[in-house]
Structure 1
């Protein structure tokens, strides 16, 4: 895609790697545009079953805004929306699972990239934080994707005190699914658990999960009633149940 956001297809998985190690993989316009384009690519290509998001090296997953430029908060106020917010919106619409491989520091806007992912595995060296108050600003767009992910008291402390969590604290808070000394081994294990399932069920399941998040109970119940009815009509649903009765492995078509 570009020098700052590397894209590589490995079997059924699209890897998107922030490639700015000299800036601790800080966010740039090229990074945001590349991530947005990568999600678009995955949504268009039925052979891509998951997207892994990570950073180059072992020091940082993403350190957030690149404060060294002095332009991190120089927005074009004529535009009603900004690049990071638009990326988080795009991720919210995605029905291909996004998996964060947190290889190091995950800070500020990097926490937004983590939170927009559906699953996350972290290295034992990883640290997590929202240090914006230390430089006179406050986490904003990332709150929209973090507020339902971690307990409110944890979120308040992260935002108001600006101090980091270590990997085990992040695990306890629900920021990640797993922490491992063998990051890639655990990631492969998790992808294996995901990729052998029905592509249709995963896609429609993510669609359902994301749509009911902000719905009142009755609206959510009516929506999910319709979704299970539609899912039951798919080829994968028929094949999965037939394979169960015949005691064999399903042969998914993704239809």
Structure 2
């Protein structure tokens, strides 16, 4: 390829994954999906990393969805394989034991809403817009519903999907899609603030906690409580748990080993 469709950078203990297709409003194609998947694999293998940020270049778009340009290969799937690439990517994101934060720097549409939905947290600039416009081009946000159905109230989700009309960042915040909405100039400052609140905490507790939270999503109360009972017992045996107790009693900041 003549240019990288996705930029992957390590900034201290944080991996930044940036869709680099500003001229296409950071729309996804097969190369973008594959590059994000590769970055997630790298992140899981790097014990130094503590968080992952997903964003797009520029200020126009976080991700405008699937690239609909002629020859882009949109909606052309190999059904001899189990799972299309975007579904595999969503599964991979949900199995990621590092905090995954969306930095929404502009329009977040269609498949971009899927990227947003698979993240753990999201910070958006106030000019960002959000929507599921698939019905306008004769399709439906089928795959994306898997990550949005538990984030957006059912009636509003129907409205977004059936009308195809967008909402602004303030409404997206009220629906629970976002953690924070800030002026465009303050986007990175708010993101850094949120990261700082995570990076000083136990990486072991976060890693095992994310894993446990994913596991109980489909469990009823009794089974979830039993599973979590075993998880806290296991977590209490880690080095970070011992260090956390020592630091608390010695009234000092903990020194985490991540083990």
Q: TM-score, normalised by structure 2?
A: 0.96
Counterpart in the other structure of 1:9: 10
The Cα offsets for residues 144-178 of structure 1, whole Å up to 9 and x where unpaired, read as 11111111111111111111110000000000100
SS at 1:67 equivalent: coil
Using the alignment, how far apart are the partners of 1:166 and 1:90 within structure 2? 28
Using the alignment, how far apart are the partners of 2:155 and 2:250 within structure 1? 49
The Cα offsets for residues 169-202 of structure 1, whole Å up to 9 and x where unpaired, read as 0000000100011100000000000100000011
Counterpart in the other structure of 2:255: 251
Gaps of 5+ in 2: none
Residues 93-132 of structure 1: pairs in structure 2 closer than 5 A: 93-132=95-134
Counterpart in the other structure of 2:231: 227
1:201 paired residue among 200, 205, 208: 205
Please state how far the C-alpha of 1:77 moved relative to its aligned partner. Answer: 2.2
Using the alignment, how far apart are the partners of 1:80 and 1:249 within structure 2? 47
Q: CA RMSD in A?
A: 1.1
Using the alignment, how far apart are the partners of 1:69 and 1:110 within structure 2? 20
Counterpart in the other structure of 1:136: 138
Using the alignment, how far apart are the partners of 1:108 and 1:95 within structure 2? 25
The Cα offsets for residues 184-223 of structure 1, whole Å up to 9 and x where unpaired, read as 0000000000100000011001001111111121111111
Using the alignment, how far apart are the partners of 1:201 and 1:80 within structure 2? 33
2:191 is the alignment partner of 1:187: yes
Tell which deviates more after alignment, 181-190 or 154-163: 154-163
2:93 paired residue among 91, 94, 112: 91
Counterpart in the other structure of 1:57: 58
Using the alignment, how far apart are the partners of 2:167 and 2:209 within structure 1? 31
Using the alignment, how far apart are the partners of 1:83 and 1:69 within structure 2? 20
The Cα offsets for residues 36-82 of structure 1, whole Å up to 9 and x where unpaired, read as 11111111101010010000100000000111135311212222311
2:186 is the alignment partner of 1:150: no
Using the alignment, how far apart are the partners of 2:154 and 2:175 within structure 1? 10
Gaps of 5+ in 1: none
Please state how far the C-alpha of 1:238 moved relative to its aligned partner. Answer: 1.0
Q: TM-score, normalised by structure 1?
A: 0.98
2:220 is the alignment partner of 1:216: yes
